A and B are shown apart, each in its own frame.
Chain A
Amino acid sequence: MRLSSSKSGLAGILVIALVASTLLVLSLRRQEVGSPVYLARNEYPDIFKRTEARGEPMVFNFGVICKEPFKELEVRYGNMYMTQVPEFKDPNFVPNSSDPLTIMEARTDVQNIKANLGNVSIPFDVINVSVKIGNLTHSKMYRGVVYDFARTLALFLDKRVIGQIFEVFAVLKSDDGDLLYFSGVPDFFYDRSTNIKYLSIHHNQNETTYQAETELPIEVVPVDAAPPAGELVFRDTRRDDQIFIQMNVESNINTLPMWIQQPGLMEYLIEFVRVYANGRLEVSELNVIPFEKEGWRG
């Protein structure tokens, strides 16, 4: 029995359609599933200015939308400042010829912390980061690593204490070998009770607002009462839940870590925000903000 030419053509078309669509579906299936957390907003000042005299706060906004329901959604803040080249365990260590992770591991302070953790089996957070630093006309790509010991130490310490300890470290290295070192606290901002003037946390329609204490006869919830150690935990979130955090910061030279007054260190600060959904890191935003060059000592 012979097939007519039109029927064999039909079979051919069907086979081609089958193969092509199967390949298309398989290739689509191979693509990674997107993050279940949508980063809706990440706004921070272009330049960090001394705001005390001007009354113009530095505004930080961060927001995410849940694309899936989660048992636990955790937002973690870290605030870091530039430091001098740290001391290395091996005095002959040459950081410029090493990658950021190797440099981090060579640091004496980091080794001290690791040694003091002993055999504590809960790992600290190691996060790879990449960020463009500079302005529109001149910028450089930096890649690096952040070590955050806060979650490990939280096992043993009061969280209000944890937010004051310098236990977040970053090493950033540009493609042309330039190195930047940062150290900071796991909190919304360094010295929160002094620097944060307004902090608002929204979960859908629920809003909690904290404000700096004022001499005006109005009742405010103080910033110190905000969740400690820059850690916000939302349990049993549903799909399309929205979480937004707004923070207004006003600082002067005396309310930032003292060491940044050393030459060359008042260049950048980092606001580091992460979102963990069911314990898995889904969003990691390293916001590097240049300091305004003048006016801090005025």
Chain B
Amino acid sequence: MRLVKAPVGVLVAIALLALLPRGVSSQAEAMTPVIIIYSAYTPDWGNRLADMVRSDPRFDAEVQVVGDRLTLETLVNFPRVQAVVLCPLTRPQAALEDISNMMVAYFRDGGAVIGMGTACTSTYCSKVGPEVFSISGNRSISAQMVGGRRVFTYYRKEVMAEINAEVPGETIVMEGYLAFYSSTVDGVYVPILANGTRHVLYEGERQVPLVVAFEPDEGGASVAFPGLSVQDTPGKENYYGYVLEREEFKQLFLNSLKWAIDNSPRFQGLKETAAARMEAESTRRADLAAEADKLQKKVEARRLMRLGILWAIGLAFCGGVALKLVIVREQKA
């Protein structure tokens, strides 16, 4: 019999051990990362950027294209969000209004953000520009017409191994229309104060920053492309289809996203603590439920006791009355 019992015990132990890591891994599965691409009013632009991300094996995240502001404001707070790409093209006022508070909170919490065009400047996105991308805008420069395309020329200023070291050439061109920047009255670029490290990777004329990577002292990491103000009309000289064909853009965008994710602690922190947080909350709720059950039983027992006493008194009263009647009747008889 011992020989039989021992393997059963061992099997139970193995089964328990096997279950433990499975529990942990299921929690890890619960935290599959999500990259949000916010492209209000231009879903095709968002979908094409999303396809670009999905095709890069460095990202193991779900990619979601979000088209409305309220959904973005809600989803950006979710624990699975690993990065947000803000790239609305048309109707910037409507697309960007009010997103500031949520985006700033997400960034301060350690989130990764990539911005393109109007999303990068205080002109349209009051707090996101200065606080997330360290860019403000009281002035703008226009893209030039080159070969039938409206483009900015990007002059390399700083090299970051993770983002632009492998992008060939000291200058590149990418489609755009306006780039906003902070300046003196003479139009000379003056960087705004930033609590962190700002890397201007490319700049345009008048040293206007066109690709800016930002690592705040506290918070996540961001990369801004303020000059990428492309349009959604095919055939227009700054149509987004043109920029999507450029290998330099693809490299810069994907490398920036990767760098921002790698330097943003929010998702990793939440992922590591998610299981413990859920466990603590489950325990808390279970304790309260047990307390509620205990209270309900106590209340029911108290009521039962009261009913029992009432019942006994009632019976005694009935008995007394009946007995009295019998005695009276017998005495009369």
Contacts of B64 in A (CB 8 A): 112, 116
- Cα of A33 to Cα of B75 in the assembled complex, Å: 41
CB of B288 within 8 A of CB of A278, answer: yes
A68-B299, A183-B70 in contact; A29/B75 too (CB < 8 A)?
Answer: no
CB of B307 within 8 A of CB of A25, answer: yes
- Contact among A36, A109, A119 for B26, CB-based, below 8 A: A119
A13-B318, A21-B315, A71-B291 in contact; A119/B29 too (CB < 8 A)?
Answer: yes
B235 in the interface (beta carbon within 8 A): no
A6-B329, A21-B311 in contact; A156/B292 too (CB < 8 A)?
Answer: no
Nearest chain A residue, comparing its CB with the CB of B67: A87
CB of A21 within 8 A of CB of B300, answer: no
Contacts of B77 in A (CB 8 A): 153, 157, 161-162, 165
CB of A280 within 8 A of CB of B289, answer: yes
Instruction: Count contacts between A and B, CB distance < 8 Å.
Output: 138
A117 in the interface (beta carbon within 8 A): yes
Distance of A4 from chain B, by nearest CB (Å): 8
CB of B274 within 8 A of CB of A156, answer: yes
Per the CB 8 Å criterion, the residue count for chain A at the interface is 48
- Contact among A17, A122, A165 for B322, CB-based, below 8 A: A17
Distance of B97 from chain A, by nearest CB (Å): 8
CB of A156 within 8 A of CB of B318, answer: no
A6-B330, A278-B289 in contact; A14/B78 too (CB < 8 A)?
Answer: no
- Contact among A14, A153, A259, A278 for B318, CB-based, below 8 A: A14
Contacts of B291 in A (CB 8 A): 70-72, 278-279
B142 in the interface (beta carbon within 8 A): no
Contacts of A28 in B (CB 8 A): 307
A174 in the interface (beta carbon within 8 A): no
- Cα of A169 to Cα of B314 in the assembled complex, Å: 53
A121-B278, A280-B292 in contact; A112/B75 too (CB < 8 A)?
Answer: yes
Chain A residues numbered 21-50 whose CB sits less than 8 Å from any CB in chain B? 21-22, 25, 28-29, 33, 36
CB of B310 within 8 A of CB of A25, answer: yes
- Cα of A173 to Cα of B225 in the assembled complex, Å: 47
Contacts of B14 in A (CB 8 A): none
Contacts of A118 in B (CB 8 A): 29-32, 80
Contacts of B71 in A (CB 8 A): 109, 112
CB of B277 within 8 A of CB of A155, answer: yes
A164 in the interface (beta carbon within 8 A): yes
CB of B30 within 8 A of CB of A120, answer: yes
- Cα of A109 to Cα of B71 in the assembled complex, Å: 7
Distance of A120 from chain B, by nearest CB (Å): 6
Chain A residues numbered 99-157 whose CB sits less than 8 Å from any CB in chain B? 109, 112-113, 116-122, 153, 155-157
CB of B292 within 8 A of CB of A161, answer: no
- Cα of A13 to Cα of B295 in the assembled complex, Å: 39
Contacts of B333 in A (CB 8 A): 6
B173 in the interface (beta carbon within 8 A): no
A167 in the interface (beta carbon within 8 A): yes
- Cα of A13 to Cα of B318 in the assembled complex, Å: 8
Nearest chain A residue, comparing its CB with the CB of B32: A118
Q: Which of B101-109, B114-122, B157-165, B203-211 contacts A (4 or more CB under 8 A)?
A: B101-109
A14-B319, A161-B77 in contact; A6/B278 too (CB < 8 A)?
Answer: no
A10 in the interface (beta carbon within 8 A): yes
CB of B282 within 8 A of CB of A278, answer: no
Contact bitstring B265-290, A, C-beta under 8 A = 1, else 0? 00000100010011001100100110
Distance of A269 from chain B, by nearest CB (Å): 17
CB of B73 within 8 A of CB of A165, answer: yes
A277 in the interface (beta carbon within 8 A): yes
CB of A109 within 8 A of CB of B74, answer: yes
Distance of B243 from chain A, by nearest CB (Å): 28
- Cα of A122 to Cα of B277 in the assembled complex, Å: 10
A227 in the interface (beta carbon within 8 A): no
Contacts of A297 in B (CB 8 A): none
A9 in the interface (beta carbon within 8 A): yes
Distance of B70 from chain A, by nearest CB (Å): 6
B195 in the interface (beta carbon within 8 A): no
Contact bitstring A70-114, B, C-beta under 8 A = 1, else 0? 111000000000000000000000000000000000000100110
Contacts of B319 in A (CB 8 A): 14, 17
A7-B326, A109-B71 in contact; A33/B304 too (CB < 8 A)?
Answer: no
Contacts of B97 in A (CB 8 A): 258
CB of A10 within 8 A of CB of B323, answer: yes
Contacts of A120 in B (CB 8 A): 30, 79, 274, 278
Given contacts A25-B307, A117-B80, 19 further A-B contacts (CB under 8 A): A7-B326, A14-B318, A17-B314, A17-B322, A25-B310, A29-B303, A70-B291, A109-B74, A116-B78, A119-B27, A121-B278, A122-B281, A155-B79, A156-B78, A157-B79, A157-B109, A165-B77, A166-B70, A278-B289
Can you sample 8 A-B contacts with CB below 8 Å?
Answer: A10-B323, A14-B318, A112-B64, A116-B75, A117-B80, A120-B278, A156-B274, A280-B289
> What 10 A-B pairs are tightest by C-beta distance, nearest first?
A279-B288, A119-B30, A17-B318, A278-B292, A156-B79, A116-B78, A13-B322, A278-B291, A280-B292, A118-B30
